[in-house]
Structure 1
Amino acid sequence: MQIRLDGKNCLVTGANSGIGFATAEGLASHGATVYMLCRNKERGEAALNQIRSKTGNENVHLEICDLSSINEVKSFATKFTSMDKPLHVLVNNAGLLEHKRDTTTEGLELNFAVNVAAPYTLTELVMPLLEKAAPDARVITVSSGGMYTEQLNKDLQFSEGDFDGTRQYARNKRVQVALTEWWAEKYNSKGVGFYSMHPGWADTPGVTKSLPGLSEKLSGNLRSNNEGADTVVWLALQPKEKLSSGAFYFDRAEAPKHLKFAGTAASHSQINPIVDSIRSICCLPALG
């Protein structure tokens, strides 16, 4: 963890609070140039000033984007890629758990939009910058242990049956883990590593808001935001030869993606048609 990131560019989504803030601060403390992607300008500026003050690193910048809007994600990606700077680390951290089914102005189920459609679109569109940073580039996606309970499911927007926000969140997180495998295989020759991780149950604003029962039950035993972000920062710092692209990490070590007898492993074979669906939903060009 003594490795320095001076001269390296890192982009962190959902960076104004929780694990995203702790990740941005951790990367900045190692000398990285950090771009904080936040939805709220006021909260983003407060977080930016706090990180600059705490780390003494002035190379921390705020970018504004509402990740529930795929059009905004595309606009941001266009602007960001126009800077033509190599992107060494992309952290797909922003997440959402809404219990009631809601749709965005673009007609997407809200959890799916933020947890799956946005990180997929962003990652695909900044690939040219990641390739510029090869062979050291990496994409780290913050998943959740909640994904252990769900198979990969083609009903991406939970259109069938009674909507359950907690299950949809778990499904979204399963998609992230399967997508990481898919990206690792697809971009194997591009010098970009892909990793998903479970931060443990941390005392984040998101957990407090979305899972108040869990937050109260585990009060005093939840991880701090820094503890939750520890493996993200570790993945950003490690020499790539010590990591396994496509793998799932927990507490600085590779972890299983499936629980014994859970019956989720076989579902990952569905990832290709699911990726095709996501691309179509996000109106990205078909894969060649």
Structure 2
Amino acid sequence: METQIAGKNCIVTGANSGIGYSIAEGLAQRGATVYLVCRNKERGEAALSEIQTRTGNENIYLEICDLSSVTEIKSLASRFSKKNVPVHVLVNSAGLIEQNHVTTSEGFELNFAVNVLGTYTMTELMVPLLEKASLDARVITVSSGVMYTTPLNTDLQYSAKFDGLEQYARNKRIQVALTETWADKYKNKGIGFYSMHPGWADTPGVAKSFPSFSKSFSGKLRTSEEGADTVIWLALQQKENLASGAFYFDRAEAPKHLAFAATSGSHALINSVVDSLNSMASLFV
């Protein structure tokens, strides 16, 4: 964990607060050039200034992008392509738990748009830049242990009576299955793909979405720094010590399915999900 990664370019989504902020700060402390991808310009600028002050690292940059918008993600990817710099680490940290059914301007359910479609589009469009750093390139997606409660489901926009937490769990299961898919699809590109569970951390997102839970467990949840620990560990390890496609928890590979949860066979549906995502984002067509 003391490894310095000066000269490496790291992109962290959702970096202005919570675990995303702690990941960005941890990478900056180790000398990386860090790009904060944030939706809100003011909060993003505040996070950038604070990380620079706390770490003494001036190589921190802000990219404004609403990750619920495929259009904005494509614009971000285009800007990065023009920089023509290798991307050593992409951290898909931005996540959302919206309890109400909200539809984006592009017609997608909001949780799904951020957690799945946004994560998928961002990752696929960054592959050419990740290839430029292929010996060391890796993608780390922040999933959640709540995915253990649900099998993979192809009803991506939740057509039944809406349940925000169930949708979030479904989204997080898809992220784990996508990580497996990417690991196989790009195994010859020299890019490692990892998903992870940060543990239950006391973040602004948890406090907003689950106020009673947050209050009940006040002082018992992990800090954002503790939630970020395994992501930073994954970013620093030699790739030969990691398993591409694996799911990690507390610096160790963890199972993706619990006994008797009837989720293991569901990952066979991921190809159908990928086809839907490619169509929605107009990728590979």
Whether TM-score is above 0.5 comes out as: yes
**2-side partners of 1:129 and 1:274: how far apart?**
24
The equivalent of 2:58 in structure 1 is 58
- Report deviation, 1:210: 0.6
The equivalent of 1:217 in structure 2 is 216
The equivalent of 2:28 in structure 1 is 28
- Report deviation, 1:211: 1.3
- Report deviation, 1:285: 1.9
**2-side partners of 1:214 and 1:149: how far apart?**
18
**1-side partners of 2:123 and 2:31: how far apart?**
23
Show the 5 A alignment for 1:1-288.
1-159=1-159, 161-286=160-285
**2-side partners of 1:21 and 1:267: how far apart?**
33
- 1:254 is paired with a residue of what secondary structure? strand
**2-side partners of 1:199 and 1:81: how far apart?**
30
- 2:169 is paired with a residue of what secondary structure? helix
**1-side partners of 2:217 and 2:249: how far apart?**
19
- Report deviation, 1:80: 1.0
**2-side partners of 1:214 and 1:84: how far apart?**
44
User: CA offsets, 1:43-65, max 9 Å, x none?
Assistant: 10110000000000000101100
**1-side partners of 2:173 and 2:200: how far apart?**
17
Q: Which runs of 5+ in 1 are unaligned?
A: none
Q: Report percent identity of matched pairs.
A: 67
One-letter identity of the residue aligned with 2:225: N
**2-side partners of 1:43 and 1:224: how far apart?**
20
With the length of structure 2 as denominator, give the TM-score of the two structures. Answer: 0.99
- Report deviation, 1:137: 0.2
One-letter identity of the residue aligned with 2:230: T
User: CA offsets, 1:225-270, max 9 Å, x none?
Assistant: 1000000000000000110000000000000100100000000011
**2-side partners of 1:105 and 1:204: how far apart?**
27
- Report deviation, 1:282: 1.2
- 1:228 is paired with a residue of what secondary structure? helix
- Report deviation, 1:283: 1.4
One-letter identity of the residue aligned with 1:162: K
**2-side partners of 1:108 and 1:64: how far apart?**
20
**1-side partners of 2:257 and 2:213: how far apart?**
22
User: CA offsets, 1:121-161, max 9 Å, x none?
Assistant: 011011000000011100000000010001100001101x2
Q: Which runs of 5+ in 2 are unaligned?
A: none
**1-side partners of 2:85 and 2:46: how far apart?**
26
With the length of structure 1 as denominator, give the TM-score of the two structures. Answer: 0.98
**2-side partners of 1:270 and 1:66: how far apart?**
28
How many pairs were matched up?
285
CA RMSD in angstroms comes to 0.6
